[in-house]
Amino acid sequence: MKIHDFSWLWRWLLPTSSKHEEPQIPAVMEQEPGDNPLHIDNEMPEFLKCTQADTSSKEWHYATETVTQEKEECQDLSAATMESEDVPSEVVESSLLDNKPLVKVFAECADLLNELDGLTKNLKSEREQFLLQMVREKIRTALILSGGTPIDNDEVFDIIRHFCVNCNHANNGMPIQEFVESGIMLGERVFVRAKVNLKM
């Protein structure tokens, strides 16, 4: 077997001073025709065989079924989430109106707002009027946060949805000039009519 010395290549690539020890480069052995052929063992070592998964065992099948079941559950959950996002608004509104305690609260708050409107004329001081207006705004905000929808973008008058401020007699279909105060509805039911000024 012939032995090739490549130390000259190392000295040419990385020259070193005489003060430093020259690095030793391992020699490369070249196999000649008369030499015995090298044997390469491709067999898996014994310590790795114990770590290889046994696909025939019950534990392997149980783990595989568990992973498959978890993937299916995640897919079902994603599909259910997408379906819930596609639920039309009519279904949500009908469910709100089916909530009898919520509808009763809206009705009670609407009656309270009407009573407070009646007290406005009897209040003389600005402080009393300010406190009354603050209470009304708190009630209205609570209704909207509880699922109520503001009525503030209509273009024509509707006696069921609006209350005219600048005239005593208003007919349906008259153009709305501005909203003085928005109304509140739950689903398709109006609880507080919007106060509007009509174009005269």
**Nearest-angstrom CA–CA distance, 138 and 149:** 15
153 in a domain, yes or no?
yes
97 in a domain, yes or no?
yes
H or E element in which residue 163 lies? strand 162-164
39 in a domain, yes or no?
no
Output the CA torsion 73→78→80→84 (10° steps): 160
104 in a domain, yes or no?
yes
67 in a domain, yes or no?
no
pLDDT at 104 exceeding the cut of 80: yes
User: Helix axis angle, 126-145 relative to 100-120, nearest 10°?
Assistant: 160
Q: Is 75 helix (H, G, I), strand (E, B) or coil?
A: helix
19 in a domain, yes or no?
no
pLDDT mean over 54-72: 61
Q: List pLDDT tens digits, range 26-62.
A: 544 555 555 555 555 555 556 555 555 555 555 555 6
Buried b (16+ CB within 10 A) or exposed e, 75-93: eeeeeeeeeeeeeeeeeeb
pLDDT at 173 exceeding the cut of 70: yes
Q: Confidence band (pLDDT; 50, 70, 90) for 13?
A: low
Instruction: Quote the number of domains for the chain.
Output: 1
Q: 179: closest CA among 198, 162, 196? A: 196
Report pLDDT for 22.
Answer: 52
Phi–psi pair at 196, nearest 5 degrees = -135, 160
Q: List pLDDT tens digits, range 106-163.
A: 999 999 999 998 888 888 888 989 999 999 999 999 999 999 999 999 999 999 999 9
List the domain range (segments joined by +) for residue 185. 89-198
72 in a domain, yes or no?
no
105 in a domain, yes or no?
yes
